[in-house]
Amino acid sequence: MFFASDNTSPVHPKVMEAVVRANTGYAMPYGNDPIMDEVRAAIRDRFEAPEAAVYLTATGTSANCTALACLAPPWSTIFCHTNAHIEEDECGAPEFYTGGAKLTLVGGDDARMDANALDHAISHTGRGGVHNIQCGAVSLTSPTENGAVYSVAQIEEIALIAKRYDLPLHMDGARFANALVATNASPAEMTWKAGVDAVTLGGTKNGLMGVEAVILFDAKHAWEFELRRKRAGHLFSKHRYLSAQMQTYLDGDLWLEMARHANAMAARLKDGLMQLEGAELLHPVEANSVFARWPRAAHKRAHDAGAKYYLWPFAQPLDGDPEELLSARMVCSWCTTEDDVDQFLSTLTP
């Protein structure tokens, strides 16, 4: 009953096997290994983007921030949602990697940027004067930090605004596969065809050991990205082990299979939770996370039975009024089982 986050899950056995398979003989370092050639070809193929520049890093933070640094100069600002990972969970890495660019926060329900609010924020920034912060880039996350998924039309709407102001659009895709299977769109439709210029394609939260891909649809940033990644200390020397994970991820659509499963488990969890007296959803369940609140007494029973998840957005005391509703975030992964979900649900009622 482990729902704390999808990065608490183990590595998919096929991925582990691929890493072991890669562990024979010699291979050129720093991304010059033959498996990386396959990864590059597979990503270009899946995204229908034969010219895209494709790189791997080991963390989502480095992937986001080295990509953003190529898009937003130090004297600019990046428009993102108030709850964006780059704002709340990267310890100032965007500011650090860009060399000082700031973030301008945009509101919107379920951690999706509201298009009008974005338009308003951009139009009130950087009117060209030397005293003003300049507009740098727009960054959206899908699924969002609240588990909602941007439809293709919603991405297009954001992209249209970005383009109107001549700003590049970055997508934080730490859970890209979960969004993709939720929308039924193709990778191309969800990214460059909708106006996304750069995407970080997550793997770690969906069954890999530690790999994220950065895809730059405009390869003019490729060399700059390579320099920035190296300078940031994120160019892996024994790169073949990163390549092997990503190769297996895409092979036979394992990434989609794992994401579909995680999303289905979240839907099952939501359906069960909504049977519980007093339970309420905080955000729509569109991918693999469930944000809900329910009475403290049921939290206490789950906790005592060993269930692991975060009370959200902050730890709320388990002792107190048994009727009071406490909010929680629960995340399912490729290896969450129906039994895990059902067992958890059974703990909620006495």
Stretch of 54-62, 147-155, 254-262, 327-335 contacting ligand PLP, by CB under 6 A: 54-62
CB nearer to ligand PLP: give 125 or 141. 141
Sign of CA dihedral 201, 206, 208, 210: positive
DSSP three-state, residue 95 = helix
Pattern of binders to ligand PLP over 178-207, x per CB under 6 A? --------------------------xx--
User: Phi and psi of 172, rounded to 5°?
Assistant: -80, 105
Q: Please say which residue, 288 or 347, places its beta carbon nearer to ligand PLP.
A: 288
**Residue 23: alpha-carbon gap to chain centroid:** 29
Query: Minimal CA–CA distance to 93: which of 234, 222, 237, 241?
Result: 234
Applying CB under 6 A, the span of 56-64, 94-102, 274-282, 316-324 interacting with ligand PLP comes to 56-64
The reply to whether 61 sits near ligand PLP by the rule CB under 6 A is yes
Cis peptide before 284 (omega within 30 of 0): no
Q: Which two tokens stand for residue 329?
A: 């975030």
The number of beta carbons lying within 10 Å of the beta carbon of residue 74 is 13
Q: Select from 26-34, 53-61, 114-122, 246-254 the region that touches ligand PLP (CB under 6 A).
A: 53-61
Task: Between 80 and 135, name the residue whose CB sits nearer to ligand PLP.
Answer: 80
Interface with ligand PLP includes 288 (CB under 6 A)? no
Inter-residue contact 327 to 256 (CB < 8 Å): no
In the 8-state DSSP scheme, what is residue 187? H
> Between 294 and 312, whose beta carbon lies closer to ligand PLP?
312
How is the beta sheet containing 310-311 ordered, strand by strand? Answer: 280-281, 289-295, 325-331, 310-311
Is residue 147 a contact point for ligand PLP (CB under 6 A)?
Answer: no
Query: Which of 31, 60, 168, 203 is close enough to bind ligand PLP by CB under 6 A?
Result: 60
Q: According to the binding rule CB under 6 A, does residue 59 interact with ligand PLP?
A: yes
CB 126, min distance to ligand PLP, A: 26
Q: For residues 244-255, b (16+ Cβ closer than 10 Å) or e, as one string? A: bbbbbbbeeebb
Contact pattern for ligand PLP over residues 79 through 118, marking x by CB under 6 A: ------x---------------------------------
CB of 242 to ligand PLP, least distance (A): 13
Q: Which residue of 87, 95, 145, 197 would you call a contact of ligand PLP, by CB under 6 A?
A: 145
114 burial class (0-12, 13-18, 19+ CB within 10 angstroms)? middle
- Min. distance of Cβ 143 from ligand PLP in angstroms? 8
Neighbour-count burial of 263, counting CB atoms closer than 10 A to its CB (0-12 exposed, 13-18 middle, 19+ buried): buried
Residue number with CB closer to ligand PLP (54 or 63): 63
Spacing of C-alpha 189 from chain mean position:
17
Residue 202 CB, shortest distance to ligand PLP, in Å, is: 7
Return the residue of 9, 83, 104, 141 that touches ligand PLP, per CB under 6 A. Answer: 141
Binding region for ligand PLP (CB under 6 A) = 59-61, 64, 85, 141, 145, 172, 174, 204-205
